[in-house]
Amino acid sequence: MADTVKIGIIICDRYRNCAGGKCFRALNRREGGFSIYKNKEVEVVGYTTCGGCPGGNIEYAPEEMKKNGAQVIHFATGFVVGYPPCPYIDYFKSYIEKKFGIEVVIGTHPIPEKYYTVHEKLGTWNGLEWKEKLRYVICDEEKRREYD
């Protein structure tokens, strides 16, 4: 299939026991970070954690995913909704794109409303740099509530 995109998903290690329910629901519905695949088939070729701060698995996992055909790697939404959000996310993105030549998209599922509310109170995402990072996962309140 020419329209099949192969992706890898890397989750924050603080959520290492996550079974991926929200991510895979969003993938099936083409919501959040996966909305960019509205008219495409998607095959997940890798799913792992970053390896814990400061992301030791970031050095190795993308290479394995690339061997499996990954064209895009998604950082799970947990990277941006955790308290605090991942302090290494920009470096990780740049590193993977430059070293492995794989596009990195920040986000998988829409941000749950319960996280959105707290981060709004904290002012976590007030900087302009956050608009770009959250563009696929911020969604509207109704959609965020579906992911609570």
User: For residue 15, what is the DSSP state?
Assistant: G
Cα–Cα distance for residue pair 47/8, rounded to 1 Å: 6
Name the amino acid, one letter, at 147. Answer: Y
pTM of the model: 0.95
Per-residue pLDDT of the chain (148 residues; tens, 9 = 90+): 458 999 999 999 999 999 999 999 999 999 999 999 999 999 999 999 999 999 999 999 999 999 999 999 999 999 999 999 999 999 999 999 999 999 999 999 999 999 999 999 999 999 999 999 999 999 999 999 999 9
Domains of the chain and any CATH numbers: 4-109 (3.40.50)
DSSP string, 126-140: -SHHHHHHHTTT---
For tokens 């941000």, the residue is 111
Cα–Cα distance for residue pair 131/113, rounded to 1 Å: 17
